[in-house]
Structure 1
Amino acid sequence: MSASDLGMRIERPEQLLRDRVVDVVREAILRGSLAPGRRLTERELGELTGVSRTSLREALRHLQAEGLVESSESRGLRVAVLTPEVVGHLYDVRAALEPAAVELFVRCATAEQVAALAATRRLDEPEPEVELQATREFYRILLEGTANPILQQMAGSIDARIHALRRVSLRAPGRQLKSRREIDDILAAIKSGDAARAVELARLHVLAAKEAALVAVRSLERTEAS
């Protein structure tokens, strides 16, 4: 597979090179071009990105700290494999953070931020990839509107893995439509200024997303074991 196929060639040397590599490899993982369990070698990544092994090592250490990359049994690195235990932990943290973010957004967001949040939901049965990106933008604006840098930092630390899990959980039959409706309901409560309802809807949305993600991950495990 060529660099052009994966869209990983580094083109902006003015940005700190390690950060550019982190961004590019992270995005390749999030969009599924680098699938869970795929072995990551410095040689292949060097060919795909066109950067030195030193920059790649630094970037991979950063991605390992984010939980997107992990050590493999062969002593190398691989794209992190999702397990039910990891999924449970991630969604338990999300269940604590997301309702708090929604409540703060209702209290602190500007009219412009509310409008920007609403703009991400103007979708008419989009393709799954389009909806995934719109949902990611929804949560980016939501966190920005909390005006709380500590919450933003905490949520940001798990954002990439949660986004990867959305890609998995939306495979469950009917989950994409149900998720869309849940988020739209949260937005309606936010727009009406009903913080209590928005918080409760956010909590229920996370619980439903957790259940769908666990079902999908367990299904993948059974498929790989067969």
Structure 2
Amino acid sequence: MKNIAAALRFTIVTALLIVASTASAQSPQQVAAMRQQQWAAYQQQVAVYQQQMAVYNQQMAAYKAQQVAVARPVAPAARSAAPAAANSMIRYDGNEVACSASLPSQVQYLINAANALQDSPYIRGAGHGRVEDGAYDCSSSASYTLIKAGLLKAPLTSGGFSNYGQAGEGRFITIWVKPGEHVFMTICGLRLDTSGGKVGEGPRWRTKGRSYAGFFPRHPFGL
């Protein structure tokens, strides 16, 4: 693109020099006609340059999209939560999760925060204007637990989680993201999700399997 721009500048300067060198030997009408021709040639050069820039921008956009796709690990089409619920570091009694003292403190804080959400209803957009709210949606409930664990400063949307932490599944915590649609978490393998229950039911621990198609995993640094 730099070469194209340089060539365009060279064409303009050359045209101006030609006009200047011949203007004294020609009539005003001839000079005006020459300038019109040079201006038309310049406009053609600009049009070519703009077309080449448009092609270049399209190629760059396609390249960036390809790089993002490569960087995102592909989630399995479906996964059962039952084996994960039997993780020796946690114990789920059907309502709340008790965790081992051997877990990192941030993971313990996050589990306690998730337990506190078990009676919360679902309202789209709730929990984003303030952390402590009467209801939560998928992304605000995930945000709430991370904030309480000191792993996030302010609530994120599902799209905002696209760049959260590190790519891939974590050792203890994984956020599963489908930007603009849904987000849920697995903590020590047990799923915290707003979907999979009754209509209007908010974040709950889920033991039934669900589809992971279209989701990609992120996790807090080191966890």
Bigger fraction of residues in strand: 2
TM-score (norm 2): 0.29
Name the one with the larger helix percent: 1
Which has the larger Rg?
2
